[in-house]
């Protein structure tokens, strides 16, 4: 088989190969990025589906082809939420429903990236975004993350076509940008004519602290993305793009049509009905409260038993970021951890350059409280074995 050059460059990572072993059911996994399935609102979805399918007119809409931009009432619901939460005026006519925010990244890349264009990334950043952009053969440049967002001093002299950002509870690092950084980066992008992609699938999963303003509120040209995957269920495969203007909206729609005509009408209607008939904010609050407990426990157990791992303490989201002492190799540790039946993701695949190979991402949303305790015991054993093997 002769692949196109753009596909040939993209290889399946060795970390992914190791992590395939982590799907084994006796492994406690802090590796995936999965929401907790016990919190999916499945009964509400059952009721919403029954209501839709038992109403002949609704059933026909749900099962028919639909508009490429998505079901209008759902787009209005999304606009309403931004008004309520951020006092942001979003025109539903500029919202495009996508097949997860992953597709949003692909559509944006498709209409903006020429070969060798520069795409700026936070370092580290979301692995699957790197992979999506790679298909369009850009050059990458990175800005390192601090506790309050990208390092502004590094950013100042840079330029590029796009800057891909995850300002809330970043995957993988858990970092949330503070307000000053948001304003600075939004102004910088405006001056330098760089298009910011503001990818925000985790922003509503906040445990503490104050909701931060969107980058979009400081710069109208920001492309803001959202997703129902983490707040409701990823199986819906629904996310959205807020296009800054009609021109970009039209181009994105062309790309969307070429890709899949439109996202599932059926899951769009279920999601819309869920927002209409159920208390979505109560659901998100309950989910956040539970994730917060999981996060607290994972931090407490690691701090008590594995002093070698220093952790951050994110105010929301689904991930902790851990650093081992300099000289430790988290890929080697993972190999031992898999034998000890626990998994995490080493930091390496989240970096394009300046790789910190002593780092690791730990997911807390998808483990029971008991599994968190047991998993940390196994991780401690793994660190002890690693230290023994390396005479540390």
Q: Give the x-and-dash track for 132-171 against ligand PLP (CB under 6 A).
A: ----------------------------------x----x
228 or 386, CB closer to ligand PLP? 228
126 or 218, CB closer to ligand PLP? 126
Distance CA 148, CA 194 (A): 21
Choices 52-60, 98-106, 142-150, 259-267; region in contact with ligand PLP by CB under 6 A: 98-106
Q: How far is the CB of 227 from ligand PLP (least distance, A)?
A: 3
160 or 172, CB closer to ligand PLP? 172
Residue 317: strand, helix, or coil: coil
Q: How far is the CB of 119 from ligand PLP (least distance, A)?
A: 15
340 or 366, CB closer to ligand PLP? 366
Is residue 36 within 8 A of residue 365, CB to CB? The reply is: yes
Residue 143: strand, helix, or coil: strand
Q: How far is the CB of 145 from ligand PLP (least distance, A)?
A: 13
User: What are the residues whose beta carbons fall under 8 Å from the beta carbon of 288, sequence distance 6 or more?
Assistant: 204, 205, 206, 207, 316
130 or 166, CB closer to ligand PLP? 166
Instruction: Find the binder of ligand PLP among 68, 102, 271, 358 (CB under 6 A).
Output: 102
Q: How far is the CB of 18 from ligand PLP (least distance, A)?
A: 19
Buried b (16+ CB within 10 A) or exposed e, 317-352: bbbbbbbbeeebebeebbebbbebbbbbbbbbbbbb
Beta bridge partners of 96: 241
Q: What is the largest CA-CA distance in the chain?
A: 70
Size of the site for ligand PLP (CB under 6 A): 13
Q: Cα 21 to the chain's mean position, in Å? A: 23
174 or 376, CB closer to ligand PLP? 174
Distance CA 317, CA 204 (A): 8
Residue least distant from ligand PLP (Cβ):
100
Residue 353 preceded by cis peptide, ω within 30: no
Q: How far is the CB of 331 from ligand PLP (least distance, A)?
A: 21
| Pick from 195, 229, 230, 231: nearest CA to 215 | 195
Is residue 161 within 8 A of residue 112, CB to CB? The reply is: yes
Choices 99-107, 248-256, 351-359, 374-382; region in contact with ligand PLP by CB under 6 A: 99-107
Instruction: Find the binder of ligand PLP among 126, 136, 184, 321 (CB under 6 A).
Output: 126
Q: How far is the CB of 229 from ligand PLP (least distance, A)?
A: 3
Given the DSSP bridges, would you call strands 162-165 and 195-199 parallel, antiparallel or unpaired? parallel
Q: Interface residues for ligand PLP in 34-63 (CB under 6 A)?
A: none
| Pick from 295, 302, 341: nearest CA to 320 | 295
150 or 201, CB closer to ligand PLP? 201
Instruction: Find the binder of ligand PLP among 22, 30, 31, 33 (CB under 6 A).
Output: 33
Given the DSSP bridges, would you call strands 223-227 and 239-242 parallel, antiparallel or unpaired? antiparallel
Beta bridge partners of 145: 150
Count the Cβ atoms, other than its own, within 10 Å of residue 62.
Answer: 22
Instruction: Find the binder of ligand PLP among 123, 219, 227, 359 (CB under 6 A).
Output: 227
Q: How far is the CB of 350 from ligand PLP (least distance, A)?
A: 11
- Give the tokens for residue 304: 């008590």
User: Contact between 201 and ligand PLP (CB under 6 A)?
Assistant: yes
In the block, residue with structure tokens 């998808």: 366
User: Contact between 244 and ligand PLP (CB under 6 A)?
Assistant: no
Residues that bind ligand PLP (CB under 6 A): 33, 100-102, 126, 166, 171, 199, 201, 227, 229, 234, 239
């Amino acid at each position: 088989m002769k692949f196109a050059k753009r596909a040939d460059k993209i290889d399946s990572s060795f970390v992914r190969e190791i992590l395939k072993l982590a799907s084994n059911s006796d492994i406690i996994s802090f590796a995936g990025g999965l929401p907790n399935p016990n919190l999916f609102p499945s009964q509400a979805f059952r009721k919403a589906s029954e209501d839709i399918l038992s109403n002949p007119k609704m059933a026909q809409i749900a099962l028919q082809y639909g508009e490429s931009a998505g079901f209008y009432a759902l787009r209005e619901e999304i606009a309403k939420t931004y008004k309520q939460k951020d006092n942001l005026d979003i025109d539903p006519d500029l919202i495009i429903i996508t097949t997860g925010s992953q597709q949003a990244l692909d559509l944006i890349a498709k209409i903006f990236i020429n070969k060798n264009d520069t795409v700026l990334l936070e370092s580290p950043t979301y692995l699957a975004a790197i992979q999506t952009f790679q298909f369009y053969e850009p050059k990458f440049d990175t800005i390192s993350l601090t506790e309050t967002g990208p390092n502004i001093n590094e950013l100042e002299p840079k330029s590029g076509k796009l800057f891909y950002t995850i300002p809330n509870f970043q995957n993988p690092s858990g970092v949330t940008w503070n307000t000053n950084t948001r304003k600075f980066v939004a102004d910088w992008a405006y001056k330098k004519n760089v298009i910011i992609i503001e990818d925000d699938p985790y922003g509503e999963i906040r445990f503490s602290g104050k909701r931060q303003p969107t980058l979009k509120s400081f710069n109208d040209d920001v492309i803001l993305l959202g997703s129902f995957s983490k707040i409701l269920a990823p199986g819906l495969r629904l996310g959205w793009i807020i296009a800054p203007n009609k021109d970009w909206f039209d181009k994105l729609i062309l790309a969307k049509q070429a890709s899949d005509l439109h996202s599932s009408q059926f899951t769009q209607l279920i999601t819309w009905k869920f927002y209409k008939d159920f208390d979505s904010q109560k659901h998100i609050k309950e989910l956040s409260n539970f994730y917060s407990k999981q996060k607290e426990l994972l931090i407490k157990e690691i701090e008590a038993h594995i002093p070698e791992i220093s952790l951050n303490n994110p105010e929301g989201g689904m991930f902790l970021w851990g650093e081992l002492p300099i000289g430790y190799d988290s890929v080697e540790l993972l190999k031992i951890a898999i034998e000890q039946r626990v998994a995490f993701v080493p930091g390496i695949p989240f970096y394009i350059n300046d790789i910190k190979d002593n780092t690791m991402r730990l997911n807390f949303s998808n483990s029971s409280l008991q599994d968190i305790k047991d998993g940390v015991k196994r991780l401690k054993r793994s660190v002890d074995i690693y230290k023994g093997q390396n005479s540390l």
